């Protein structure tokens, strides 16, 4: 009997349903997400995500500080993939004010963004397996992540919420030590990915838990605006880095991993392969990085972009991230609006989890890789 | 030992309780240290040498914590459940022979005693979940019941094959029948049961499921059910469940040692029997921990399918095979 038939049978038999309150404090929601589940035994009839427990008014805060003062906010929306968020905002403002970015700065941005993407995926990898009851991979993933954080700390000064990109470049030039560390990290991480492949991906229990579980169709992705690994796991090879190229991504070679199955395993594999692709990008970018200035001189401290409406989209670790800024020609933004990937990805949970068992639904939730502050902003 | 019977029993009672308490405390330490090594970290290091006093500190913490009993729970059952977890495990240990002479009560029906007390564990976890009036706890209770019912069947079928080859339910006699070189142990008696190692494996898997250990820890499943049946327990109420869990693992591994690995029989003929018994038992317990820190949790329906579709047919097969082998040879 499929779960859908089971529910129908339960309804016909007059079974009672009950509300199970998953969160806002629950070990599997990794933050303060609350999901109201209507359950029939262990089957989910309806899941209702309740967002807003960590709403911090990041968009409103943009309206009462100058363009540059808003920079630290950007890295606190999705704390795991802070670089890409700063990148989107900085690039949008550069587009508005017509600021050129030196090539060296673009390469630095690509290297740091991709390192950040790997560290973000490593956290997902650990947390996802924690959801599935495997505790050990988490600490191995954090061991690798530590190396990335050390590298980024050396050049940015912070370990998680970076404020490294500035209008017209980056805050600080990278030195040879950083580039050498990034170069050495690539073969090291490739070995580790091989180890994860044999130790975790090929584990029979894991495959049984992920294969065929939580299918998300292409149609569902279009309907809810799901992007990133969730969409690529449903067979749509959409990646902002390729579709709407920005920075120096067009000069770099990388593939867009995508799987047609649409189940949790597909999303798992997409993320694991994205780490390998990010390594490829880092390898090339470190080899190609030119000498030169890391910052365009003469960017005014109090920037006043001409009045207008500007957008910029980047590929964050969780999907398409777009920032829209509206300027009225003053020192402060008129409006800052974020289109965050986690928010769109959680909306499909209601439809995708219908009829699933609780444990499988939590695997599905983990495979969406949600960052709760990114949903609430 | 020539002590009068009542004194001997009291001595054993105290000894067994101390044994369970000591093991619960130091198996936790071993598990924390071991999992630390599996995960490339150190585990407890602060309290005492190599963290050896950590269990003492933990138990003092648990003992001094407030025992919260939520107002909506069924008070009697809520308080009775932890006792029902730990007492059967201790009683089971009374019939387990640690060596030829070191056994509290060598009953003729020792094996049956262990199994009948072992099945109370299900009831206890179910009561804990039911009495807690917590939705997660009730889901956990329902899981525990169907899981333990499903796994008791292959486990008992496997034990019946042992009974057929040894012709006795006394645990001491079962071990005595395995005397001699190590290929006389039941796990290697291929002349009686051609699938003896498989039988052992089935028993071990069932033991993991019966004691709710990973990867079958459906009852606790912390990432799904918060803490399952013991969500509402605090302080020593939780602590007693914890001791009970380890006591059950202890009984399960002791039983596996007695039934399959020759109990106190030494493979090389040196050192006292109790040493060999404990060594074999702790190796099995270490394997339990190893499994826990290596594998993710199974799904609930995979777990039931494994029992009904794989383990029960296999154990039935070995049962028939053993019967045929014994009749023919």
CA A278 – CA A55 distance, rounded (Å): 31
Q: What is the pLDDT of residues B184-222, one digit of tens each?
A: 787 777 777 777 888 888 888 888 888 888 788 877 777
CA B127 – CA B141 distance, rounded (Å): 8
Give how far B93 is from chain A: nearest CA, Å.
31
Angle among Cα B302, A370, A340 to the nearest 5 degrees reads 150
CA B248 – CA B208 distance, rounded (Å): 10
pLDDT score of A10: 67
Instruction: Let me know: does B214 contact A133? Beta carbons within 8 Å.
Output: yes
**Integer Rg of chain B from CA:** 20
Question: Would you state the torsion angle of the CA atoms of residues B200, B203, B205, B206, taken in this order, to the nearest 10 degrees?
Answer: 170
CA A165 – CA A158 distance, rounded (Å): 13
Please report residues of B whose CB lies closer than 8 A to that of A208. Answer: 298-299, 302
Best of A136, A147, A358, A363 to mutate (most B CBs within 10 Å, chain B): A136
CA A268 – CA A14 distance, rounded (Å): 38
Q: Name, in order, each residue with C-beta under 8 angstroms of B99's C-beta and a sequence gap of 6 or more.
A: B264, B272, B273, B274, B277
Q: List Cα–Cα distances, B226 to A51, B77, B136, B229, in angstroms.
A: 20, 21, 7, 9
Ramachandran bin of A357, using left for φ above 0, alpha for ψ from -120 to 50, beta for the remaining angles: beta
Helices B110-118 and B235-260, interaxial angle, to 10°?
150
Instruction: Let me know: does B242 contact B28? Beta carbons within 8 Å.
Output: yes
Of B35, B214, B301, the CB nearest to A133: B214
DSSP state of B187: G
Q: Are strands A308-316 and A43-50 parallel, antiparallel or unpaired?
A: unpaired
Nearest to B166 by CA among B146, B183, B184, B139: B184
| A347 beta partners | none
Give how far A143 is from chain B: nearest CA, Å.
9
- Does domain A58-304 correspond to CATH entry 3.10.20.740? no
Of B135, B223, B296, the CB nearest to A205: B296
Instruction: Let me know: does B233 contact B70? Beta carbons within 8 Å.
Output: no
Please report residues of B whose CB lies closer than 8 A to that of A359. Answer: 221, 224, 297, 299-300
Cβ separation B296–A134 shorter than 8 A? yes
DSSP state of A295: B
Q: Are strands A18-22 and A34-40 parallel, antiparallel or unpaired?
A: antiparallel
Please report residues of B whose CB lies closer than 8 A to that of A357. Answer: 299-301
Of B136, B142, B215, the CB nearest to A205: B215
Q: What is the pLDDT of residues B39-74, one digit of tens each?
A: 888 888 888 888 888 888 888 888 898 888 888 888
Measured CB to CB, residues of chain A less than 8 Å from chain B are 18, 20-21, 26-28, 41-42, 129-136, 139-140, 143, 203, 205-206, 208-209, 357-360, 362
* Per-residue confidence in pLDDT tens, chain A, 377 aa: 455 665 666 677 777 777 888 878 887 777 788 888 888 878 888 888 888 888 888 888 988 888 888 988 888 888 888 899 999 999 999 988 888 889 899 999 999 999 999 999 999 999 898 888 888 888 899 989 999 999 999 898 888 888 888 888 888 888 888 899 988 999 999 999 998 888 888 888 888 888 888 888 888 888 898 888 999 989 888 888 888 888 888 888 888 898 988 888 999 999 999 999 999 999 999 998 888 888 888 888 888 888 889 999 999 888 899 999 998 888 889 999 999 999 988 888 888 888 888 888 888 888 888 888 888 88
Please report residues of B whose CB lies closer than 8 A to that of A214. Answer: none
Of B39, B135, B298, the CB nearest to A18: B135
Please report residues of B whose CB lies closer than 8 A to that of A134. Answer: 294-297
Best of B224, B231, B297, B310 to mutate (most A CBs within 10 Å, chain A): B224
Residue B217: closest CA among chain A residues belongs to which residue? A133
Cβ separation A357–B296 shorter than 8 A? no
Q: Which two tokens stand for residue B246?
A: 């380890």
Q: Which H or E element spans position B93? A: helix B75-94
Cβ separation A27–B296 shorter than 8 A? no
Give how far B89 is from chain A: nearest CA, Å.
26
Domain ranges of chain A: 58-304
Best of B296, B302, B304 to mutate (most A CBs within 10 Å, chain A): B296
Q: Which two tokens stand for residue B215?
A: 């990867």
CA A322 – CA A85 distance, rounded (Å): 9
pLDDT score of A117: 92
Cβ separation B221–A359 shorter than 8 A? yes
Spell out a b/e string for B94-119, using b for 16 or more CB atoms within 10 Å of the CB, else e: bbbbbbbebbbebbeebbebbbebbe
Q: What is the ipTM of this complex?
A: 0.80
pLDDT score of A5: 64
Give how far B142 is from chain A: nearest CA, Å.
9
Angle among Cα B42, B46, B47 to the nearest 5 degrees reads 125
Of B40, B226, B300, the CB nearest to A143: B40
CA A316 – CA B115 distance, rounded (Å): 56
DSSP state of B78: H
Instruction: Let me know: does A13 contact A364? Beta carbons within 8 Å.
Output: no
């Amino acid at each position: 009997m499929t779960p859908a038939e089971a529910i129908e049978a339960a309804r016909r038999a007059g079974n009672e349903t009950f509300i199970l309150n998953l969160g806002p404090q629950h070990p599997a929601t990794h933050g303060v997400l609350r999901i109201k589940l209507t359950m029939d035994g262990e089957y989910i009839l309806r899941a209702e995500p309740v967002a807003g427990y960590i709403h911090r008014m990041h968009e409103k805060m943009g309206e009462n500080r100058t363009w540059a003062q808003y920079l630290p906010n950007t890295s606190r929306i999705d704390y795991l993939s802070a670089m890409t968020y700063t990148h989107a905002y900085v690039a949008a403002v550069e587009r508005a004010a017509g600021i050129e970015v030196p090539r060296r700065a673009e390469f630095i941005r690509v290297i740091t963004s991709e390192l950040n993407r790997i560290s973000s995926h490593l956290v997902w990898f650990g947390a996802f397996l924690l959801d599935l009851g495997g505790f050990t991979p988490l600490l191995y993933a954090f061991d690798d992540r530590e190396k990335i954080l050390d590298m980024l700390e050396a050049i940015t000064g912070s370990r998680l919420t970076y404020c490294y990109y500035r209008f017209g470049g980056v805050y600080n030039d990278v030195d040879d030590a950083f580039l050498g560390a990034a170069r050495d990290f690539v073969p090291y991480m490739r070995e580790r990915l091989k180890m994860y492949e044999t130790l975790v991906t090929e584990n029979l229990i894991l495959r049984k838990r992920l294969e065929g579980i939580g299918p998300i169709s292409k149609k569902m992705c279009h309907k809810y605006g799901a992007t990133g690994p969730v969409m690529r796991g449903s067979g749509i090879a959409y990646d902002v880095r390729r579709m709407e190229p920005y920075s120096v991504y067009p000069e770099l070679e990388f593939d867009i991993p995508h799987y047609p199955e649409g189940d949790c395993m597909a999303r798992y594999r997409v993320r694991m392969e994205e780490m390998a692709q990010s390594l490829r990008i880092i390898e090339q970018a470190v080899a190609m990085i030119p000498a030169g200035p890391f910052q365009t001189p003469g960017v005014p401290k109090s920037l006043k972009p001409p009045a207008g409406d500007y957008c910029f989209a980047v590929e964050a670790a969780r999907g398409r991230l777009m920032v829209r800024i509206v300027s009225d020609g003053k020192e402060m933004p008129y409006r800052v609006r974020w289109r965050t990937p986690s928010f769109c990805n959680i909306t499909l949970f209601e439809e995708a989890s219908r009829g699933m068992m609780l444990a499988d639904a939590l695997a599905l939730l983990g495979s969406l890789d949600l960052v709760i502050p990114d949903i609430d902003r | 030992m020539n002590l009068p019977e009542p004194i001997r029993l009291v001595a054993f009672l105290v000894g067994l309780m101390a044994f369970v308490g000591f093991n619960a405390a130091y198996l936790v330490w071993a598990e924390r240290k071991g999992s630390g090594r599996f995960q490339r970290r150190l585990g407890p290091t602060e309290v005492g040498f190599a963290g050896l006093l950590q269990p003492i500190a933990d138990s003092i913490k648990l003992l001094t914590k407030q025992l919260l009993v939520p107002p909506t729970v069924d008070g009697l059952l809520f308080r009775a459940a932890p006792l029902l977890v730990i007492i059967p495990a201790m009683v089971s240990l009374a019939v387990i022979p640690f060596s030829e002479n070191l056994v509290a009560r060598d009953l003729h029906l020792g094996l049956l005693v262990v199994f009948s007390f072992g099945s109370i564990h299900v009831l206890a976890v179910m009561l804990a979940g039911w009495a807690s009036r917590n939705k997660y706890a009730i889901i956990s209770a329902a899981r525990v019941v169907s899981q333990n019912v499903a796994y008791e069947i292959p486990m008992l079928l496997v034990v019946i094959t042992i009974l057929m080859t040894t012709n006795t339910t006394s645990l001491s006699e079962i071990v005595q029948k395995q005397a001699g070189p190590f290929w006389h142990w039941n796990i290697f008696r291929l002349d009686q049961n051609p699938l003896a190692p498989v039988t052992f494996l089935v028993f071990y898997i069932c033991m993991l499921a019966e004691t709710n250990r990973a990867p079958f820890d459906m009852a606790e499943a912390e990432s799904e059910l918060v803490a399952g049946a013991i969500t509402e327990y605090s302080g020593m109420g939780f602590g007693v469940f914890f001791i009970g869990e380890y006591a059950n693992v202890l009984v399960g591994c002791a039983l596996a040692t007695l039934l399959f690995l020759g109990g106190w029989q030494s493979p090389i003929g040196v050192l006292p029997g109790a040493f060999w018994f404990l060594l074999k038992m702790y190796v099995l317990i270490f394997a339990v921990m190893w499994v826990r820190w290596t594998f993710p949790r199974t799904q609930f329906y995979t777990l039931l399918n494994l029992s009904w579709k794989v383990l029960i047919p296999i154990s039935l097969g070995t049962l028939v095979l053993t019967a045929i082998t014994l009749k023919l040879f």
